[in-house]
Structure 1
Amino acid sequence: MNKSSPNAFWIPLFPLGTTLFPGGIIALKIFEARYLDMMKRCLREDASFGVVSILDSNPSEADANAGAHFSNVGTLAKLEEFDAVQPALYMTKSYGTQRFKLISVKQEADGLWMGEVELIDPDPEMPLPKEHEKVAALLQEIISVIRSEDLLGDDAFKMPANLDDCGWVANRLAELLPLPPAQKNHLLAQSNPRIRLDLISEIIEDDGLRNIVIH
């Protein structure tokens, strides 16, 4: 992975087969001891953990080289809800705050992955250009369907909505569109939110809007 920098620091990682974007919400069912301990520590210390995508289609976390299958860009997640369903089963809800570069990884004795990370600057506010008003309208339509059908619960993403901002529109569409993990991570890695939205618009146009589903 990349060379360490003076601004790098270590955080616990939660590798997943999905991608979290800043402003997005992720619900996780926690039952493994390593993740229960991690979540409790984050709650106690008001700390974040890192969500990184597993890009290998058939990874083995027991493999010493499993970290090589992680995306090199991830998102910090802030724990918002931590509710016990059973003694060793918790339902959690966290939201994405800031992207980071993953520099190196190591695995603790309990199996928890730790990542050395460097934060990526937040997206600058960028007004939605006229040529992307159609995709913003599509997002608004998807949001309406989500709410009316209660598809993703009350909190599909952090509010308020900002349909006039390139980064917010791009991030929500990237989450909601049925794209492969590698493609979502390519979008997450884009430093310019306008370019991220350009890429998503191209994907939508190529697909003709026919196969868009919410998931």
Structure 2
Amino acid sequence: MKLPLFPLNAHVFPGGKLSLRIFEARYLRMIKERAGKEPCFAMGMLEDREGGAEVLPWATQVRMVDFSQLEDGLLGIVVEGVQWLHIEDITTDDDGLRWADCKPVSIWSEPNHEQDASINSALLSLFGQYPELGKLYPEAAGQSMDWSLQRWLEVLPIDAGNKVSLLNQLNSKPAFEFVNNLLHQGDP
């Protein structure tokens, strides 16, 4: 499938939501042309490298779930992640809008039946501390551990390559161990 590509340092994965400020002409065109279409566009993952940022060959197909005019007059949108994608080729329009040939792939294709309430509990606490993030997830209580792990990977300040590595495992156990270790650092 061919989708417009919005590469960004902020990440959203399937089931996640992200608020965006749209101001560049190429992305305003993308929103205008893709509003109401499914699939809408792909959120690409940028990784900082020496000499600039590089678009990784991974993205999330998103749909727009809300629009608003922000106080500064810019367009605000909220996107929701639908499907994890592998990017196979990127082309660029004259105005700089990129298009990605993508194929859907699974995150954690093998189920992980382990549960740990502390992962979900810590996420709910984070949402309480950052209400602008929490308001995106009124349904956060009662979600699966895999859902919570993906939300943690969206917000943790780790490089995109490490996030990709954790998402492309057979199951969520490595992501669980990573997040669990971070949450319990300094515990006696």
Give the TM-score category using the shorter length: 0.7 to 0.9
Q: How does 1:127-166 map to 2 (within 5 A)?
A: 128-129=113-114, 132-133=115-116, 136-147=117-128, 150-155=131-136, 157=137, 159=139, 161-163=141-143, 165-166=144-145
1:201 equivalenced with 2:176 (yes/no)? yes
Q: TM-score, normalised by structure 1?
A: 0.73
Which of residues 182, 196, 200 is equivalent to 2:161? 182
Q: Using a 3 Å threshold, how does the CA distance of structure 1 residues 209 and 23 change in structure 2: closer, same or farther?
A: same
Give the aligned partner of residue 54 of structure 1: 46
How far apart, CA to CA, are the structure 2 residues paired with 1:151 and 1:87? 17
Q: How does 1:86-105 map to 2 (within 5 A)?
A: 89-105=74-90
How far apart, CA to CA, are the structure 1 residues paired with 2:70 and 2:183? 42
Deviation at 1:92, TM superposition (A): 0.8
1:36 equivalenced with 2:28 (yes/no)? yes
Where 1:95 maps in the other structure, the secondary structure is: strand
Q: TM-score, normalised by structure 2?
A: 0.82
Q: Using a 3 Å threshold, how does the CA distance of structure 1 residues 11 and 145 change in structure 2: closer, same or farther?
A: closer
Deviation at 1:48, TM superposition (A): 1.2
Q: Using a 3 Å threshold, how does the CA distance of structure 1 residues 206 and 109 change in structure 2: closer, same or farther?
A: same
Structure 2 residue runs without a partner (length 5+): none
Q: Using a 3 Å threshold, how does the CA distance of structure 1 residues 38 and 87 change in structure 2: closer, same or farther?
A: farther
Structure 1 residue runs without a partner (length 5+): 1-8, 61-65
Give the aligned partner of residue 55 of structure 2: 70
Give the aligned partner of residue 5 of structure 1: none
Where 2:18 maps in the other structure, the secondary structure is: strand
Deviation at 1:51, TM superposition (A): 0.7
How far apart, CA to CA, are the structure 2 residues paired with 1:72 and 1:20? 15
How many residues are aligned here?
Answer: 186
Give the aligned partner of residue 6 of structure 2: 14
How far apart, CA to CA, are the structure 2 residues paired with 1:171 and 1:26? 13
| Aligned residue type for 1:96 | G
Q: Which has the higher strand share?
A: 2
